Amino acid sequence: MPRVKSRYHRQWRKTNDGRAAAPYSGEMTTATTAAATTAAAPRLDPRKFRDPRVTAAGEPRATVALTTLDTLWFNTGTLCNIACENCYIESSPRNDRLAYLSAAEVGGYLDEVERLRLGTRLIGFTGGEPFMNRDLPAMLSDVLERGFEAIVLTNAMKPMQHKKQALLGLQARFGERLTLRVSLDHYGAAVHEVERGPRSWAPTVAGLRWLAANGFRVHVASRYLSGEDEATLRGGFARLFAEVGIAIEAGDPVALTIFPEMDATVDVPEITTACWGILGKSPDSVMCATSRMVVKRNGAAAPSVVACTLLPYDTLWDLGPTLAGAAGAVALNHPHCAKFCVLGGAACSRG
């Protein structure tokens, strides 16, 4: 992938005051190695993930039942202030395929959670950039006043920073029941800015520092973009957090989540009913066993509930307009089901 390599060699790490500094050791080499590895990966067999009942080999496909709705996600809209190189949902300043949810629409689903006594613990907000939705502070206030915990996935850039006063008010009222999880794609600026664009590092780090300095419960989400192993990444983040004065435990997989990369064109195994025993895993460990997400497609009269936070556009995963109707089993009929959830062991919320 020459374009990635070329962009890489134009990026430089910035110190806290914005001055240019040399990249962290190994950043450029590991990124170009990872890019070459991805380019050489086998392409997905077109016969796979076609039938929700059976695999390409004719074996029964694994399904996951909803055991409890521990986490309810709301996609506040796909508009974002930046356009990442490999955004799973293709968010950008122009992508409005998922429209902004309103505070009233969110409130309606919270009413349903309470009416059905679903036992939901956590309400999550994702996007796009959730802080671009002007109703987000009202949504958070409603969620927290009802006694739920809340988490917002953000890049901590200008849209969030424009809501500082609202956030400080929520922090004063609800404390650690509100978590902000900031996307930081590497412990150095070079890798982060290859993914998120030039001049994206300093504002994110500034937003992260502001959150930590003001007593917010802060987590960080990163990715295996550089080709480094988990121990190397966590060590790099530990140095970064110490350098900028942020009290995040880099060894904690909840405080610092590192997600596997997702590429639906790369070949992955299909998950059969026999895989649970082979892998020593339970279907209850997969994200769709405990979560659903509410989206509103552009032009739709009302929101819908989808089975997976990673698959908001495909109507195959649309479970209808209500939580009551969204409790059925989900067939693991997408490459993300295998690579991200079952084999990658990832989940959008933990803890």
The pLDDT-based confidence of 347 (bands split at 50, 70, 90) is low
Q: Three-class SS of residue 84?
A: coil
pLDDT at position 265 is: 83
pLDDT digits 0-9 by tens, 171-209: 999 999 999 999 999 999 999 999 999 999 999 999 999
**Mean of the per-residue pLDDT values of the chain:** 88
- Rounded CA separation 185/225 (Å): 7
**Strand spans (E) along the chain:** 13-14, 20-21, 63-64, 71-75, 122-126, 149-154, 178-183, 217-223, 256-259, 291-295, 304-306, 330-331
pLDDT at position 4 is: 31
The pLDDT-based confidence of 40 (bands split at 50, 70, 90) is low
Query: Is the separation of the CB atoms in 18 and 206 below 8 Å?
Result: no
When pLDDT is averaged across residues 152-173 and rounded to a whole number, the result is 98
pLDDT at position 288 is: 93
The pLDDT-based confidence of 336 (bands split at 50, 70, 90) is confident
pLDDT at position 341 is: 85
pLDDT digits 0-9 by tens, 106-159: 999 999 999 999 999 999 999 999 999 999 999 999 999 999 999 999 999 999
**Is the model more confident about 98 or about 259?**
98
pLDDT exceeds cutoff 90 at 338: no
pLDDT at position 262 is: 75
Q: Three-class SS of residue 86?
A: coil
- Rounded CA separation 291/11 (Å): 38
- Rounded CA separation 126/179 (Å): 12
Question: 3-state DSSP: the chain helix, strand, coil percent, rounded to 5?
Answer: 35, 15, 45
Query: Is the separation of the CB atoms in 312 and 98 below 8 Å?
Result: yes
Q: Are strands 149-154 and 122-126 parallel, antiparallel or unpaired?
A: parallel
Query: Kindly report the CA angle at 282 between 274 and 122, in degrees rounded to 5?
Result: 145
Share of the chain above pLDDT 90, in %: 77
pLDDT digits 0-9 by tens, 80-89: 999 999 898 9
pLDDT digits 0-9 by tens, 287-306: 999 999 999 999 999 999 99
pLDDT digits 0-9 by tens, 90-113: 999 999 999 999 999 999 999 999
Share of the chain above pLDDT 70, in %: 87
Over the range 9-40, which residues count as b (16 or more CB within 10 Å of their CB) and which as e? eebbbbeeeeeeeebbeebbebbbebbeebee
pLDDT at position 325 is: 96
Lowest mean pLDDT among 18-32, 70-84, 304-318, 332-346: 18-32
Q: DSSP states of 160-212 as a string?
A: HHTTHHHHHHHHHHHGGGEEEEEE--SSSHHHHHHHH-TT-HHHHHHHHHHHH
Q: Which residues contact 87 (CB under 8 A, 6 or more apart)?
A: 80
- Rounded CA separation 49/47 (Å): 7
pLDDT exceeds cutoff 50 at 60: yes
- The one-character DSSP state at 230 is H
pLDDT digits 0-9 by tens, 13-33: 333 333 333 344 344 444 444
When pLDDT is averaged across residues 217-233 and rounded to a whole number, the result is 95
